[in-house]
Structure 1
Amino acid sequence: MEQEHPTTPTPVALIIGVTGMVGVALTEALKKPTALGGPWTVYGVSRRPLPTWFPSSQLDKYFIFDTLNQETTHNILSPFSSKITHLFWLAFQADEDEEVNVSRNSTMLSNVLDALTSSPNSKLSHVTLQTGTKYYMGPIFDSTVSTQLIPHEPPFKEDYPRLPFTNFYYALEDIVASSYTKSFTYSIHRASIIIGASTRSYFNGLLMLSVYALICKHENHPFRYYGNKYSWEHFWDASDANLLAEQQIWAATTEKAKNQAFNCTNGDVFTWKLLWRVLCDVFDVEFVEFNEKDEFDCVDFMKDKGQVWDKIVEENGLHKTKLEEITCFGVASAVLKLNIQHVCSMNKSREFGFLGYVNTLVSIKTWVEKQRQMKILP
């Protein structure tokens, strides 16, 4: 893969959203001796103290603050603007109202960029922005417009035009592409369903499915699929957190990748039926064929299972988590009831020189084991 070293001798990465799935993977990837453009100094930001499972020894500096607060953001980050060369933006705040999403997420990103570029000694040279496939589908969780959405035809391609609906991904891409272009280059990375390890990500689908399987096993309930027949049988894709980290570092250190948007998925496809079989094998639960006549409501099923999860955590000495903090079955149920094939094209990424790929069904097992090692799962 074509690679160009940064012009500064000691690249310093600032990861916003460092405790999320990709934040964990990116921290570890940047600290590898083989990391492109390295050796890297790595700073991390999140709104809460680091959890016990986080590889804190990999961070050179760690900051706790809310990027929505302009004054705090400026006071903490501006003294480091002469050191930080690369910003990796992995954070977002989610709300059903897309106008609220635009306001909050735009403010967060702008606050950080202003703090890093306001000084004449600013060293910021590249901004990495992680977004997702909602770029191609529209604000699917905003009930005021969701019924009006007509997603693009799969496979989703980077040069598809924007949909005529408010979308906070569009707003963030506009900020990095227009407001500061004389100061730095950028790359945009559109992820599918992310597979990784963290209790701090808004939507860790694998952790949620794992918790669901464990509760079903604990209480002898069938492990039923809670999507629809279409998603059960049709193709989907996913994004391994390690692959996302790899692509983001590649784009940050490769000249021809600058100022480009790239899909980042594993490069294969799966059906939820196949993935469900893998989960059954991993958690030793019986496979149950989907039956569309079985009107199963997973949100209703899980609403009183908090104490069951507490018991599983206590019995296995796990990192303390609350069911409502690590699951969002309403979102998951809505996603798995979409009548689309959720597949991205990776052709552009390959044509530009990034050839990374992951076997999704194998990665499921890998990341479950990783979360077991982190004492997130038993």
Structure 2
Amino acid sequence: MTGDDVKDVEVNFGMHKNIIEGLEAAGNPLQHTYFNTGAKWYGAALGPILKTPSREDDPRHPPPNFYYNMQDYCEQRVKAGARWTWSSLRPDPVAGYSRGSFMNISVSIAVYASICKELRLEALRFPGTELSWNALNDYVDVDLLAEATIYCATLKETANQAFNINNGDY
């Protein structure tokens, strides 16, 4: 992520498209392509999501958003006769063990707790606002996300669809 939404579309969508077309050009036929999109699909990068839980048929926020380009590309290719299918999951923040990944709420909480311990604070205090404390938040366990990914990538009933995935409010 560059912080420039237009550049992010160019880079991330470009990788997605180049992988698919490169495999096809090399004679390695795809059966299925899967991609995660996440809460950014619903505008989380633009500020608070006003509706929780989000629904797969919620309207898109104004572009740019490379997730939209990815899904639109796959939909167009399948309609044009591609012999492969696609699916996508839209997880909210992921919780669970993920070595070397900082895109995980568990790591953020652990880092914050370590800072509080180092500063010898008496209690682990919530670092946000009252509004964020009282907000409804969905999370997904990494194991559930992994199982759902396999499910979407292998079952024909999930072909050419996107699904939200989360464990619910915590």
- Partners of 2:109 and 2:98 lie apart in 1 by 13
The letter of the residue matching 1:250 is Y
- Partners of 2:45 and 2:120 lie apart in 1 by 37
Larger RCO (CA under 8 A, 6+ residues apart): 2
**Is 1:123 aligned to 2:37, yes or no?**
no
**Is 1:135 aligned to 2:41, yes or no?**
yes
Q: Which runs of 4+ in 1 moved over 6 A?
A: none
Partner of 2:83: 183
| CA 1:248–1:263: 2 relative to 1, 3 Å | same
CA contact (8 A) 1:195 1:239 kept: yes
CA contact (8 A) 2:52 2:137 kept: no
- Partners of 1:110 and 1:202 lie apart in 2 by 26
**Is 1:162 aligned to 2:162, yes or no?**
no
Mapping 1:67-216, distance limit 5 Å: 94-120=1-27, 122-137=28-43, 139-140=45-46, 151=49, 153-179=51-77, 182-216=82-116
Secondary structure in structure 2 of the residue aligned to 1:225: coil
Number of equivalences: 167
Q: Deviations over 1:108-139 (max 9, x none)?
A: 1122112211134x231001110111211254
The letter of the residue matching 1:232 is W
- Partners of 1:201 and 1:172 lie apart in 2 by 23
- Partners of 2:117 and 2:53 lie apart in 1 by 36
CA contact (8 A) 1:139 1:167 kept: no
Partner of 1:77: none
The letter of the residue matching 1:132 is G
Mapping 1:18-37, distance limit 5 Å: none
Q: 2:125 aligns with which of 224, 229, 232?
A: 224
Post-superposition offset of 1:224: 2.5
| CA 1:214–1:124: 2 relative to 1, 3 Å | same
Report sequence identity in percent: 33
Unaligned 5+ runs, structure 1 = 1-93, 141-145, 271-378
Unaligned 5+ runs, structure 2 = none
Give the TM-score of the pair, scaled to structure 2.
0.87
- Partners of 1:127 and 1:152 lie apart in 2 by 30
| CA 1:134–1:183: 2 relative to 1, 3 Å | same
CA contact (8 A) 2:34 2:153 kept: yes
**Is 1:255 aligned to 2:156, yes or no?**
yes
Secondary structure in structure 2 of the residue aligned to 1:206: helix
Q: Deviations over 1:242-267 (max 9, x none)?
A: 1111111111221211001100101x
Secondary structure in structure 2 of the residue aligned to 1:183: coil
CA contact (8 A) 2:85 2:159 kept: yes
| CA 1:201–1:175: 2 relative to 1, 3 Å | farther
| CA 1:152–1:229: 2 relative to 1, 3 Å | closer
Partner of 1:287: none
- Partners of 1:170 and 1:153 lie apart in 2 by 19
